[in-house]
Structure 1
Amino acid sequence: MGLFNMKTAISLVLFILILNSCRGSRPEPEIYLIPTSYRGKVNVIFNQAKGQEIMYEGDKRVYRIPENGILLTKAKPEYGFIRHEYHFVDSSGKRTLIKILFDNHENTEEIGIYRDGTVGIYGNSDDIQNLKYQEFYVTDKKSLDKYFSIQYDTNFLKAVQQLTGIDF
C-alpha cells in the first residue's frame, strides 16, 4: 500500500470515528395515545413525581393522554429529532393513526396533529419548580384558532396549575 493510500485509509477511519462520536445518543421514538373524542391542546408535562410511569412498546416511549389533554409523566424530556406517532384510541383499545398536519393544510375538516414538536416551560426557566412540557393540538384546521383564544388558554393553564399544584 502506497503512502497516499495509507494516509487516505487513516483519514477515512478517523473521519468515521469522529462522525460517529458526534452523533450522540438518539432520542427515543414516541407514541401518543389520545382518546378518540379529544379535541384541543395537549400538554405532556415532564419530571412529575406523581406522574404516569414511563411505558414502552418495543423501543418507543408511550404516552397515554387523559381525557383532559394534560399528561403528567415521570419521564424526562427528550430533545432532538424525535419520531412521533399519534393515535386515537377508542374505548375498546382500537387505534387509528392521526396524521401530522401543517397550518397550510388544504383540507380544513381533516382532524390531525398541529404544531407537532412544540416544547416550552411553565414558570421561570431559572426556577427549580419550572415545568418542562411538550405541546401539540388535536383538531381540524378550521377550528385551530379557537385553541389560541385567551379564554381557552386561561382555562387550560388553570387546569395545569390545579393538576401540578404549582402556580406560575
Structure 2
Amino acid sequence: MPLIYVIPESYVGPVVALFDQPDGVEPVHTQDGLEVRVPENGIVKIRGNPKLGHSRAFPKSTVVFEREKGDGSREVLQEAIDPWQDYDQNDNPHWKVGIRDAQGNLRTIAVSDQKQGFVFDDFPDADKNKVMIFWHESCQDRVFGPESEAYLAGEKSAEDLHVPPCGEFVVGAFNHIRDWPEWMFLRGKGKQEKSGIRNPTYSSIQELVDEANARAARKKTEDIE
C-alpha cells in the first residue's frame, strides 16, 4: 500500500517525515493506502517504518500527496521533478524538468539556456500557480544529534549515528516559493552560509521541531502563501 500524506489546504512549506519514532502516529489503513496527516508545523512523526507498495487507486505510486480542502474533499497533488539531462538523436545534451502525477504520467518541459533564475522558471504559467510537491527526497544525509561535527568531518556515517529513516518535501506554488524568505526552508534548502548555519545538520530532532514550530507561528504573522 502507498503512503498517503494528507495535507491541509492551508499548509505551505517544508514537511519532514520521521519514521521509527516511539512518540509517532500509526498510519491509518484505508482502501487506497496508509494515511498520515501533516500537522501545522510540518513534522510528521510515524511509529514504525511500513513497507510500501501500490494500491488499486495508485498502481504506479508508493507515495501520494493529497490536499484536503475545508469541505473534506481532496485533490491529489502533482510533483515537480528536478532537472535531468537528456540527449537528442545527435547526442546533444538538453536539460529538462518535469511534472509527475500520482498515476505515473510524466510531462517533460525543456529548460531554456537562461543563465539566471530558478530551475522551474520554464514551467507553463498555469503550472507555476498550482500548489504541488517540490524536492521530494530522502533526508538520510541529515544528522539529528550532537555528533554532527563528526559526520561533517567524515568520521562517522549517518548509519553510525542512527539517523532515523526520513523523507522530506516542500508544499507550495512555484510563483510563491520563489519569493519565500529564507526562514521558510529547511537547513540545506534555501539557507546560505552567510546565515551562519551549518548545513544540513540539526543538533537533535527537537531542534528541528522547535524550528518548525517557530516557522508555523511566523507564517501566520507574516501571511505567507
Same-fold status (TM-score > 0.5): yes
CA contact (8 A) 1:29 1:84 kept: yes
Among 117, 125, 129, the alignment partner of 1:109 is: 129
Distance 2:166 2:130 in 1: 26
CA contact (8 A) 2:13 2:184 kept: no
Identity in percent: 23
Unaligned segments of structure 1, at least 5 residues: 1-27
> Corresponding residue for 2:222?
none
What letter is aligned with 1:120? C
Distance 2:203 2:177 in 1: 20
Aligned residues: 135
CA contact (8 A) 1:146 1:152 kept: no
CA contact (8 A) 1:52 1:74 kept: yes
Distance 1:136 1:96 in 2: 17
Q: 1:75-94 counterparts in 2 under 5 A? A: 75-76=48-49, 82-94=61-73
Deviation at 1:144, TM superposition (A): 3.0
Larger radius of gyration: 1
What letter is aligned with 2:134? Y
Normalised by the length of structure 1, the TM-score is 0.64
Deviation at 1:160, TM superposition (A): 4.7
Judged with a 3 Å threshold, the aligned counterparts in structure 2 of structure 1 residues 73 and 115 are, in CA distance, closer, same or farther, namely same
Distance 2:204 2:130 in 1: 27
RMSD of aligned alpha carbons: 3.3
Judged with a 3 Å threshold, the aligned counterparts in structure 2 of structure 1 residues 143 and 59 are, in CA distance, closer, same or farther, namely closer
1:87-119 Cα offsets, whole Å, 9 max, x none, are 111344322222222335323211111123x00
Distance 2:184 2:171 in 1: 18
Deviation at 1:77, TM superposition (A): 6.1
Among 59, 63, 78, the alignment partner of 1:99 is: 78
Unaligned segments of structure 2, at least 5 residues: 54-59, 82-119, 144-150, 152-157, 192-201, 211-225
Deviation at 1:150, TM superposition (A): 6.1
SS of aligned partner of 2:29: strand
Query: Once superposed, which parts of structure 1, at least 4 consecutive aligned residues long, lie more than 6 Å away?
Result: none
CA contact (8 A) 1:41 1:147 kept: no
Deviation at 1:143, TM superposition (A): 3.0
Q: Is residue 30 from structure 1 mapped to residue 3 from structure 2 by the alignment?
A: yes
Deviation at 1:148, TM superposition (A): 8.5
SS of aligned partner of 2:79: coil
Deviation at 1:159, TM superposition (A): 9.7
Normalised by the length of structure 2, the TM-score is 0.50
> Corresponding residue for 1:73?
46
SS of aligned partner of 2:34: strand
Distance 1:29 1:47 in 2: 17
